[in-house]
Structure 1
């Protein structure tokens, strides 16, 4: 039985020895920096766990799994610039530690290096994988653009928001799982089940991220708790609050949203109080469980007697219960 801990150790060893480039140092040092911050690494782990269900030789999936993580961190580096985020995993973001131009260019190289890592895939599978990766990469960009579009709108619906996070976040989880299945030689139906599982879990994951931004423990979350509230970011919680608030609660919420100057802590406490009064936390938790349940149902349909299927399901359970 191959456990996630051993796969994570194997991944970390490969990341530690991997070189993204040497000179100019100003281009490559930010890449080493963001990759050294670690993160949960659950996307490449999902690739390896999916592959392990259908093939005991998971070494051939290592570099493709790394490609998923490098691409993910490329999107984070650029997203942090657009969001003006000060922290990533509890440390200064790349554009804060260096500058925005450096973060843009280093991120561009990270995308190229992700393609380099995918070239390790056997040629009979490479075309299919690259086509799926290109689709995913374009969808992630579409999702980010929608997210930016929503910044200028106050009539964003729940359905629109779910559609945006499906593109921005969950399609990459779908790709991570289907990639493992493709590399291990799974059939098309199985690969589609893996993708569907990742897509639904990805929506649940982003909703959980929205929830933790408000209700998470700062010591565990690794980002600025309440940052979305301070920035008036259209999260699932805010969208639901805007649709449900009326009377004094609506007046109070609108007032905090409209203020240009305010005390950050006071605004976070006030808006969180409005969420509490509207039952937004419980409603969001229900939605999170709904999407994770859909993802788990797809995994349970996988036709495999491998104990690795249970290992993957146990790992997903840990993701559902995460606090950071």
Structure 2
């Protein structure tokens, strides 16, 4: 099997070599711009890893992998509009560089281009692949809407939150791996086990993201630490804190949540101390490891060469040991 770094290089070259219609430039230039901003390429890499897991030819999976990455970046482009985000990976977002209308329309074309790449898989698996991709795309949109709905609610439960991140984050990892498995020649049972692996890995990954948003090193995390606290984003950390807080701690937490005007550094510091008192970091880490273990249990059941599974296991552990 190729190493993860080798697969990232293959994906980056394929993205660089992908050409879009030149006119109108305002429609297609934003796509090239966003796709060239980089990133870990985790989802398309997982397509290729899953293909090779069953000794398949990754050349047959490149188009589907790029299709997955196009879809992922389409969601980022539209998320940035909804969040009014000025930057993406340190560069101006598409709607900031062009305008919102251009970003919306370019995003729509990215979705179409993703499907055009996805239908290049072998005819024998085309219907299955398109079913998975369509269900995945719907799930991501449902998760995004639920996440926005949570902003208006103060009674979100942990189970609701887990279901939301399953749709918004985990199903794309899972779908990527299941599509790769089918391209690699895996049967229904084996591809479903890989879907289970990817889904639980995605849940663990998002829970770790919640933890790092509060406790991460901003230089290593790559995002503003405390951003979720500042915006009152419903994460595992906040939901669990609201559930556990009593008396003066509950009053203080609700005071900061309901403040319209505040010093961001003071809010992050105070709410972080509340999290420490309630030990929500430990609870989040326990939940994260529970899903990580479920992912690795599913991987153990897959009928593939041990050496191939070891690469995937190492990749999963690498994702979940991001430095704090």
TM-score tier, shorter chain, comes to over 0.9
State the partner residue of 1:43. Answer: 43
Match of 2:116 in 1: 116
- Give the Cα separation in 2 of the matches to 1:61 and 1:43: 12
Matching of residue 288 in structure 1 with residue 293 in structure 2: no
Greater Cα shift, 187-196 or 71-80:
71-80
Contact 1:54 1:306 in 2 (8 A): no
- Are the aligned partners of 1:132 and 1:175 in contact in 2 as well (CA < 8 Å)? yes
Determine the C-alpha separation between the residues in 1 that align with 2:323 and 2:100: 30
5+ residue gaps in structure 1?
none
- What corresponds to 1:320 in structure 2? 320
TM-score, scaled relative to structure 2: 0.96
Distance 2:97 2:211 in 1: 28
Matches within 5 A, 1:262-301: 262-301=262-301
Q: Is the partner of 1:274 in helix, strand or coil?
A: helix
Aligned in 2, Cα 1:123/1:171: closer, same or farther, shift over 3 Å?
Answer: same
**Bigger Cα displacement from structure 2, 26-35 vs 89-98:** 89-98
1:282: Cα distance to partner? Answer: 1.4
Which aligned pairs between 1:141-152 and structure 2 lie closer than 5 A? Answer: 141-152=141-152
Match of 2:14 in 1: 14
Alignment of 1:1-324 (within 5 A): 1-305=1-305, 307-323=307-323
Q: How many residues align?
A: 324
What is the CA deviation profile of residues 260-288 of structure 1, one whole-angstrom value per residue up to 9, with x for unaligned ones? 11122221122112111211111111111
- Please state how far the C-alpha of 1:306 moved relative to its aligned partner: 5.0
Taking only aligned residues, the RMSD between alpha carbons, in angstroms, comes to 1.5
Structure 1 stretch 246-255 or stretch 300-309: which is displaced more? 300-309
Q: Which runs of 5+ in 2 are unaligned?
A: none
| Alignment partners' CA distance in 1, 2:259 and 2:91 | 29
Identify if the C-alpha distance between structure 1 residues 16 and 88 changes in structure 2 by more than 3 Å, giving closer, same or farther. Answer: same
- Structure 1 distance, partners of 2:311, 2:110, is 31
Q: C-alpha displacement at 1:225, in angstroms?
A: 2.1
Alpha-carbon distance change, 217 to 249 in structure 1, aligned in 2, over 3 angstroms? same
Following superposition, the deviation at residue 56 of structure 1 comes to 4.3
Within 2, Cα distance between the matches of 1:284 and 1:99? Answer: 38
Which structure ranks higher in relative contact order (CA pairs < 8 Å, sequence separation ≥ 6)?
1
Q: Distance in 2 between matches of 1:226 and 1:30?
A: 30
Report the 3-state secondary structure (helix = DSSP H, G, I; strand = E; otherwise coil) of the residue aligned with 1:178. helix
CA–CA distance in structure 2, aligned partners of residues 142 and 276 of structure 1 = 32
Give TM-score scaled by structure 1 length.
Answer: 0.96
Shift of 1:99: 2.6
